[in-house]
Structure 1
Amino acid sequence: MPGSASPCVAFTQLWLTLLVVTPVNGQHVSLVLRAPPPVFEGDSVVLRCDTKRSIAAETLTFYKNNRALELPHPSSELHIRHANLKDNGQYKCSRKSTWAWGSVISSNTVEVQVQELFPHPVLMARPSQPIDGSPVTLTCRTQLSAQRSDAQIQFCFFRNYQALGSGCNSSSEFHIPAIWTEDSMWYRCKAETKNSQVEKQSRAFKIPVQRALADFQTSIIPASKLMFEGQLLLLNCSIKGVPGPLTFSWYKRDVLNKETKIPKSSEAEFKISKVNISDAGEYYCEANNSRRSFVSRAIPITIKVPVSQPVLNLSTGKTQALEGDLMTLHCQSQRGSPYILYEFYYENVSLGNSSTLSGEGASFNFSMSTERSGNYYCTADNGLGAQRSEAIWISVFDMTKNRTVPVATGITVGLLIMAVGVFLFYCWFSRKSGGKPTSDDSRSPSYSEPQEPTYYNVPACIELQPVYSNDPKENVIYTEVRGTQPRRKHAVQESESPRSRCQMAEKN
């Protein structure tokens, strides 16, 4: 046994007979303490105190390290059940002498050295710092003594004193399919013989579980993130560093940050046969392993749609305007991806432009003038080719010039009517007075000084001279009638009668 001088010495100690010569009826009596060969943990040990002659068991006493042991009942044998390291020590037996009062007869001393069947196990985790959701293998390591290699040991595993699995078994390993950050607890294991006579536990061991960092790999076909309407879009998502099995889901985030889960997208590949403008947005995939969800980075997809032919409208809806009117042109394309640049033209001369993100088009305001009568149109362009609207003809009138036509016409007609009325009144008055001219001597005043005739201011004798004026820009002929009054002459020089003057006017 370990600790003894040599096997021979041990054998001698085990079987040495300590002879104590005592005269009992003229004979000698001896006590011998016998012990078994090497002792291991869990073994049952019997120490027997023998004599050549039968001795009453009540007279025997067993000692360990010179301390008397109390037995449940008198016996010549000392039983040690399930020996362990605490049972190590020096044992002997003794009896009282029957012929000498106070005399004690002792046996030989036997040293019992209990050997370990196996050392305390050590718990190990592989990997020692697992990633969130990855598998872990626990190993409970120990080694049987070479002299008891045939012994059978079973192992148990615990998490915070809660047994893992279905209990103890012969395997020194325990497999955890997936360990998570909330499973970062204290683990330990226990090794024991099948009859549970020897059991030993490992020290508690905390497994640090690290949060998983998903390594997403996303690909897109075509490689460009700028696509044209009608093209094929193929997205693929793969992930590393996260244990499976995994399920994938695809999501789309539009310009308003509204997220929509795409139906029928439980695969790592997502396909749109023909994209349109509504498919524009940011796409990302989500991988789920029933315990954790991992999200990839978003892939922005831009769908370019050429603009349709724009439509040009007027705010008033009329193609005629007056000088100084405020006119609003509105240009809009029904289709086309943003941004759309709208530009307005007058007779191929740019008036201005405006870009917009919305599909409501753009407007242009300006004040009308006669110089701006002509064709107006607009163009729309989003980088995929400009489109031109139909031209609109707008006519502009200057009312300050057009008002002279009715005014001049009214004055002319009024003067003509007045002249005809005065002439008819004069003729009627002349006939009523006997047909004599007012310049007759009989009707003249008696004073010798000549005086002007009383008919001098008769309007009928005013000469009317028409004046014609043509505007080269207009097709209208303007007529203006001007009245001229002759200078006054003395009555002696002016011998013509009013009637003759009227007749002259009629001839003219």
Structure 2
Amino acid sequence: MTLICETQLSPQRPKVQLQFSFFRDSQILGSGWSTSPELQIPAMWTEDSGSYWCETETVTHNINKRSLTSQIRVQRVPVSNVNLEIQPTGGQLIEGENMVLICSVAQGSGTVTFSWHKEGRVRSLGRKTQRSLLAELHVLMVKESDAGRYYCAADNVHGPILSRWMQVTVRIPVSHPILTFRAPRVQALVGDLLELHCESLRGSPPILYRFYHEDVTLGNSSATSGGGASFNLSLTAEHSGNYSCDADNGLGAQHSHGVSLRVTGKQDIPTAVNSQCKRSCLLRNSSTGLFAG
């Protein structure tokens, strides 16, 4: 707003030098007396409402005049077009990162109260009141529980205006996977079908699992919804050795501890059964006094 103190000099004294001052409710404005008949007020607030007038006097202070009083009322402009912005852009975060929720309004005067809200929570996440069209809320080291939908609200006594909902996702890096063997018997034999199972207990899917024998890649398998992944292997004598796996969901691969496996030759089970039968038959015949040839 610009205040102008208009004067009309006497024709007999057209070159008289004047100075001016402006007042609101008996309080002098600006830097006091000035040779400029104008006063610029960069921003008007509701508390700037009141009675305004100006005074002018000659630089010799022998003549002083005061203007009529003008009543100026400053009304607040309601907030509009409330917007929520999330950084990192898009609301895609990794567990442990910091998140910034930026609430802004296109217009609105006076002090504005900003608040931030998350779906499912009764209380607001935070509240700030300031003379600004923008405010920020910092969320440090986000957790998996911070994922969800957010919105913000702005109010300058005309009633809160809400932003649209924004989705926040929090991706979890994989933990060190655990490799286990699933075989039909305790002792692995040549010809057995061995299942290698690799699983990370934490990590956002999809997770790609890779399987290794003596650091040589055997194959890979992807898990789209948790529970780990498996790889089947038909055992030969060369499959003895150390096995491991790793898990990767694009946030950094993690490697398991090594697990040793010893594969032995397959036993001749029918021969063992026949030998046991011969011994039992011999004993049975001996008890009757009859010996088998």
- 2:236 is aligned to 371
Structure 2 residue matching 1:307: 3-state secondary structure: coil
Matched, 1:389 2:251: no
Pairing 1:370-449 to 2, within 5 Å after superposition: 370-371=235-236, 374=240, 375-390=242-257, 391-393=259-261, 395=263, 398=266, 401-408=268-275, 411=278
- Could you give the per-residue CA deviations for residues 178-232 of structure 1, whole angstroms, max 9, x where no partner exists? 799xxxxxxxxxxxxxxxxxxxxxxxxxxxxxxx851537363x56854444443
Distance (Å, rounded) in 1 between the aligned partners of 2:262 and 2:168: 43
- Which amino acid letter does the alignment assign opposite residue 265 of structure 1? R
Structure 2 residue matching 1:234: 3-state secondary structure: strand
- Could you give the per-residue CA deviations for residues 118-151 of structure 1, whole angstroms, max 9, x where no partner exists? xxxxxxxxxxxxxxxxxxxxxxxxxxxxxxxxxx
Report the Cα offset of residue 408 of structure 1.
Answer: 4.2
CA contact (8 A) 1:326 1:365 kept: no
Distance (Å, rounded) in 2 between the aligned partners of 1:351 and 1:314: 16
Distance (Å, rounded) in 2 between the aligned partners of 1:318 and 1:287: 67
Report the Cα offset of residue 264 of structure 1.
Answer: 3.2
Give 1:234's match in structure 2, choosing from 77, 100, 124. 100
Report the Cα offset of residue 310 of structure 1.
Answer: 0.8
CA contact (8 A) 1:319 1:392 kept: no
- 2:161 is aligned to 294
- 1:356 is aligned to 224
Unaligned segments of structure 2, at least 5 residues: 1-70, 130-134
- 1:320 is aligned to 187
CA shift in 2, pair 1:357/1:409, >3 Å = closer
Pairing 1:475-490 to 2, within 5 Å after superposition: none
Matched, 1:275 2:142: yes
CA shift in 2, pair 1:283/1:262, >3 Å = same
Aligned residues: 215
CA contact (8 A) 1:250 1:266 kept: no
Distance (Å, rounded) in 2 between the aligned partners of 1:213 and 1:238: 9
- Which amino acid letter does the alignment assign opposite residue 404 of structure 1? T
- 2:28 is aligned to none
Report the Cα offset of residue 239 of structure 1.
Answer: 0.5
TM-score by length of 2: 0.52
Distance (Å, rounded) in 2 between the aligned partners of 1:352 and 1:263: 43
Distance (Å, rounded) in 2 between the aligned partners of 1:232 and 1:370: 49
TM-score by length of 1: 0.33
Structure 1 residue matching 2:274: 3-state secondary structure: helix
Distance (Å, rounded) in 2 between the aligned partners of 1:179 and 1:239: 11
Distance (Å, rounded) in 1 between the aligned partners of 2:173 and 2:107: 43
CA shift in 2, pair 1:319/1:344, >3 Å = farther
- Which amino acid letter does the alignment assign opposite residue 222 of structure 2? S
Distance (Å, rounded) in 2 between the aligned partners of 1:218 and 1:232: 14
The structure whose Rg is larger is 1
Distance (Å, rounded) in 2 between the aligned partners of 1:275 and 1:266: 21
CA shift in 2, pair 1:363/1:392, >3 Å = farther
- 2:47 is aligned to none
Distance (Å, rounded) in 1 between the aligned partners of 2:177 and 2:113: 47
Report the Cα offset of residue 243 of structure 1.
Answer: 5.1
Taking only aligned residues, the RMSD between alpha carbons, in angstroms, comes to 4.9
Distance (Å, rounded) in 1 between the aligned partners of 2:93 and 2:235: 48
- Could you give the per-residue CA deviations for residues 301-322 of structure 1, whole angstroms, max 9, x where no partner exists? 4444432211123467975357
- 1:342 is aligned to 209
CA shift in 2, pair 1:311/1:403, >3 Å = same
Matched, 1:306 2:168: no
Report the Cα offset of residue 380 of structure 1.
Answer: 1.0
Distance (Å, rounded) in 1 between the aligned partners of 2:110 and 2:184: 67
| Structure ranking higher in helix proportion | 1
CA shift in 2, pair 1:326/1:259, >3 Å = farther
- Which amino acid letter does the alignment assign opposite residue 407 of structure 1? N
CA contact (8 A) 1:217 1:239 kept: no
Structure number with greater CO (CA < 8 Å, separation at least 6) is 2
Structure 2 residue matching 1:320: 3-state secondary structure: coil
- 1:218 is aligned to 85
Distance (Å, rounded) in 1 between the aligned partners of 2:90 and 2:236: 50
Distance (Å, rounded) in 2 between the aligned partners of 1:352 and 1:228: 25
CA contact (8 A) 2:150 2:167 kept: yes
CA shift in 2, pair 1:382/1:179, >3 Å = closer
- Which amino acid letter does the alignment assign opposite residue 356 of structure 1? T
Matched, 1:246 2:112: yes
Structure 1 residue matching 2:138: 3-state secondary structure: strand
CA shift in 2, pair 1:293/1:378, >3 Å = same
- Which amino acid letter does the alignment assign opposite residue 255 of structure 2? R
- Could you give the per-residue CA deviations for residues 75-105 of structure 1, whole angstroms, max 9, x where no partner exists? xxxxxxxxxxxxxxxxxxxxxxxxxxxxxxx
Give 2:151's match in structure 1, choosing from 264, 278, 284. 284
Structure 2 residue matching 1:403: 3-state secondary structure: helix
Distance (Å, rounded) in 1 between the aligned partners of 2:177 and 2:75: 63
CA shift in 2, pair 1:338/1:247, >3 Å = farther
CA shift in 2, pair 1:262/1:394, >3 Å = farther
